[in-house]
Each structure stands twice: as C-alpha cells, then as structure tokens.
Amino acid sequence: MNIHSGKYKCTECGNCCQSGHDLVRHRRIHSGEKPFECTVCSKRFTEARHLVNHSRIHSGEKPYRCHVCNKAFSRADYLSTHVRLHTGDKPYKCSLCNKCWSDISSLRNHNYRAHSNIRPHHCPHCGKVFKTNTELNYHARIHTGAKPFSCRHCSDCFRRHDQLKAHLLKSHSEGTWFTCNVCQHQFIERSELKKHSRRRHEGVKPYVCSECPKRFFTARELRLHRLVHSDEKRFYCGLCNKSCKFPISIVRHFKKCAAKFGFNQALGN
C-alpha cells in the first residue's frame, strides 16, 4: 500500500519504496554514496549485506552447502542456482523462444546474445559495431592507445581494468586470488575459476544449443557454435571486404590477403 500511495517516492526517478529505510538505500543509486567499506581491499558498497557477501571472498567462508553433492557457496542465491543442476528445474523462460534457464542472469545473457542484433555503437576508426557503449570504449583504446587504469604502486598503466587487477596481484600481491578447492590452481577472476571447475572437475556443460543437442562449457563456445546454424557472415576483411562466418576464418584469410597485396607490415601488426 505504501508503494501505491507514493508515500516513499524518490524525487529523482519517481520510484516508490515500501519504507523510509528502503528509500534511503534507493537514493544511494543516484548520489553514488557507498558508506560500507571493506577493511581488506577498501572496496565500497551501498548496502551492508553486499559488504557481508563480499567479505567472504577474503575469508573464504562458505556457509551454504548443497545437500546433494556437499559443494559449499558463499551466498544463498548461489546455492539456489546450483541446486537446480541436480533438480533440473529451469523456472526462467524466454518470452521469444520459450527456452528455459535455471537462473535469471542466464536468461538475461540469452536475450542479449540471441535476440538482440542491434549494434548502434560504431567505432570511428575502423567502423566495427557494438551493442553497448562500454564495449565500444574498450575497443577504441586499441586505436587510441589510451591506458586509463594506472597502478598506484608503480608507473605501469593498462587499457583494461582486469589487466590492472592481474598486475596488482602478480607484481604487488594486492588483492585476492580465487583458488580451486580441488587442485589449488589460482585465478584472477571468479568467472575463470568457475569455467575451470566446470571443465576440469565437474564436467558440467550448462550451455545447450537450441538447434541441436550439443552442449558447451561456456557461453562463448555456444555463441561460436551457433554460427554453424546461421547463414550470417559478420566478420569482414578490411582489405578486400570478403566476409566469413567464423573469426578464425577471417584471421586466416586476412593473412593471405595481406601477403597478396604486399602488406607485410600488416602481418606483423
């Protein structure tokens, strides 16, 4: 009723909250205020619960355990998603193709990858198109040479944040490695540890092709596989404008094309 009455309404965006406390937390989205700081890495958060979840990265605490395979998780929602691997439950259905997913993030990624072909952001240097402005900004640094991420310990600068993170871990021992609890292999990103566990220890292939029975470990492998079922050729040679289905095909073609036209420097670069 509070939501309908507009009693706790945000003056910035018009969003209505259930309570005054919820409204205070919501306003931090607009103000950028992050009052909760991690004492280990100084990362800040808008809510205390987000800090609690984050702190388990450093402590290694995993209080939520699967009753089927005994695998432990740092968050309850991670456990809920994992349990669906055993039950086969896929409550999130795509409204366009009726494909079902076990978690909401997979459904969102599916909609973005499979059903959105709009690429409104064009690179002014090479004409390559992107779905988001963030992707374009990352790409543009290849041309401009911009390296906005600088190390606070030395003079090194990097084009991407993940490169800076890797540098801090390897060169200055700052940050936290993600360690596999089976083989003790260490990773810089949690996503890389997740891929490793699926491929090396679990054998789980959660990404299923909608056109054939094939399954894959990662979303990228599935995206590349889907090109087999498509007639689209979206990879172009910048020298002769030939188009190919697969990125590896255009790389091979470009090397031959560059040699043919005498662009030996292009091969080196």
The four Cα atoms 56, 60, 61, 64 give a dihedral, to 10 degrees, of 90
Cα 184 from chain centroid?
23
pLDDT at 154: 92
Q: How confident is the model at residue 267 (pLDDT cuts 50, 70, 90)?
A: very low
CA distance 109 to 45: 24
Residue 69 in tokens: 């395979």
Q: Is the dihedral of CA 15, 17, 23, 25 positive or negative?
A: negative
User: Mean pLDDT score of the chain, rounded to an integer?
Assistant: 81
- Do the Cβ atoms of 223 and 206 come closer than 8 Å? no
Spell out the residues 6+ positions from residue 129 whose beta carbon is closer than 8 angstroms to its own: 119, 120, 121, 122, 123
- Kindly tell me if the per-residue pLDDT of 265 is higher than 50: no
Measured from the Cβ of residue 239, the count of other Cβ atoms closer than 10 Å reads 14
Tell me: pLDDT of 22 over 70: yes
- Rounded mean pLDDT, 13-37: 82
Residue 96 has pLDDT above 80, yes or no: no
Q: Which amino acid is at 31?
A: S
Per-residue model confidence (pLDDT) at position 101: 80
Pairing type for strands 215-216 and 207-208 reads antiparallel
- Predicted confidence (pLDDT) per residue in 163-176, tens digit: 888 899 889 988 88
Q: Which residue has the tokens 């958060």?
A: 45
Using pLDDT thresholds of 50, 70 and 90, give the confidence band for residue 157.
very high
